[in-house]
A and B are shown apart, each in its own frame.
Chain A
Amino acid sequence: MDSFLWTLRATEQPVASLKRWGAVGLTACLVLALAYLPPRGAESSGKSPFVGQSLWGTPARQYAQALADEWRKVDATVRLLEDRQRVRRDSLRASPTIVFRGATLPPNSVHNVETVIDSVWRDLGLGETKVRVTLVIELQRPYGSADTPTPLQDRVAYLAPDSTHRTTCLAYLPAGPYWTLVILGKREARHEGFGRFVQWLEAGLGPCAFYAAYGTPGRSVESWLAARHWDVGLYLGSHGIAGERFSSLDLMGNPSSPWYWDGVYSFPPATVACLAGRPSGCRAAVLAGAGEERTIPSPNVVVVERRWWRVQHLLPGERYLGDVARTVGRERFLDFWTSAQPVDTALAAVLKRPVGEWTADWERGFVRPIRLGPMPPLGAAVIALAIALLVLAVVAATASRRQVR
């Protein structure tokens, strides 16, 4: 029998060399390590190794970048202070004085920009104001030498009025390559959506528009706004910040995309709770920074973050105070703006409602409340249920056929 079975045995195949497979495996590991491990000297972001993380530069590079960033901020502050000293006002003009830097403009280009800013000023309902605004437009210039970092060219900065210049607010607005060409008349601005020049200028006024419209805020409001880098007072207009209805919520992307939820959960818990329509979360998001009694620095420079919408406590926070002002009216908003009471008391008094409730309603005007917690996709849930039912049916059928003998 044994000899019969032995003859039926398949012919033995030659086995591939194990060494070769080992070498292939090690090479693959090396390639994966080169692709995924951070370069030598880089620090881990501290996140789990199972979560994708972006590469960080070497400590020396990070230090150099931080130093350059600090230099840019100080340089921007010095330039703003110099501009404030130098600027000559046209006493006949109520709208902002415009200063161009980086290039000499032909008179008709200057006139065109002044015409647009005049219409922006009227659109905001402003005329002669106690705090005057100067708009410094930095036209794109070629990158400088390697001796000094490139000046701040991609971040908006504001110099608020202080005890030495109580009636001047300076806005520093880098034009970038696109708007530089538009201002120089070398390119036509798009007339719709993101490309509207008038909206770019209106958004560029930032906190200076609030200073112009309502004057210098009282100490509690000013301290609150300084603590949160003016994220709720970046835009006074009633349109979207970069288009008719465009807000920071649109920068989050489409809710059906996976990065939308990554973005949502990168915000503080109160901000996420407010997006879910919870008044307690909205209240906490609005009053973030209100409890701190901070000294207002002099000079008081507000530098807007490069990706400002990522550090907001409220979405779309940039228009929050503008919407409050439009809702309650100028007189009541001034009561809040100059109030000596704590921010939550003063705001609730002018809204005539609890801050959280009003803000939750306001939030619902922009976004349908998101659902918090884990939620599997519908298709996956149906398939999982179908599999579960199939398994149950198979088990039930098997159990029914089993017989004990």
Chain B
Amino acid sequence: MRAILVVLSIVAMPSAMPGQQRWARQVQERAQRAIDAVATSSPRAVVKRSGMLNTDEAASFQTTLVQGTPYAILGVCDDDCSRLQLTLLSPSGSDIAKERNSESFPTLRFTAATTAVYGIRVVMEACRWNPCWYAIAVVPLRKTPS
């Protein structure tokens, strides 16, 4: 696969997009359902990003993860997308974890060893009707009692 890295300054998910509302709404709803399904420690700390990509294109963004906090990183995409890849990158840019087996709903779980700015890369591996809308949510989870 020849991924084209498109470094986008991804804006926060808008409440309503002019045109193409159907697909934007679809991924917003899916992202919200996914967030609701995991036990978040603080709903307000959830980081959401969304955008659209053509097949084989990629987008990256950065987010700060706090030491010792477990996180779920969720990816969703619209009906025309059949494979979405999610990669967590270290502050130095190397891969920490990659999820490409869950087709259109990749999920990563990660507990940061140090507080730092981590990268998240999303690759649209298969989109039947380009572009495909996607949304990523970084959800802090409740710490399990040890």
Contact = CB atoms under 8 A, between A and B. Distances in A.
Given A215-B129, A217-B130, A334-B129, A166 B52 contact: yes
A214 interface: yes
Contacts of B1: 340
B18 A216 contact: no
A163 B129 CA distance: 16
Interface in B31-90: 52-57, 80
Interface residues of A, number: 19
Contact of A130 (B6, B8, B56, B129): B129
B20 interface: yes
B18 A215 contact: no
A219 interface: yes
A132 B20 contact: yes
A166 B54 contact: yes
A131 B131 CA distance: 8
Label chain B's interface by main secondary structure. Answer: loop
B20 A167 contact: yes
A214 B54 CA distance: 12
B130 A128 contact: no
Contacts, number: 53
B1, B23, B127, B131 interface centre (most CB from chain A within 10 Å): B131
A128 B20 contact: yes
B21 interface: yes
A342 to B, nearest CB: 14
Nearest to B53: A166
Contact of B55 (A128, A131, A132, A338): A338
Interface string B109-146: 00000000000000000011111000000000000000
Contacts of A167: 19-20, 52, 131
26 contacts: A89-B18, A91-B18, A91-B21, A128-B22, A130-B20, A131-B131, A132-B19, A132-B20, A161-B131, A163-B6, A163-B8, A166-B52, A166-B53, A166-B54, A166-B131, A167-B19, A167-B20, A167-B52, A167-B131, A215-B131, A216-B54, A217-B130, A218-B55, A338-B55, A338-B127, A340-B56
Interface of B: 1-2, 6, 8, 18-23, 52-57, 80, 127-131
Given A166-B53, A167-B52, 4 more contacts: A163-B57, A218-B55, A338-B128, A338-B129
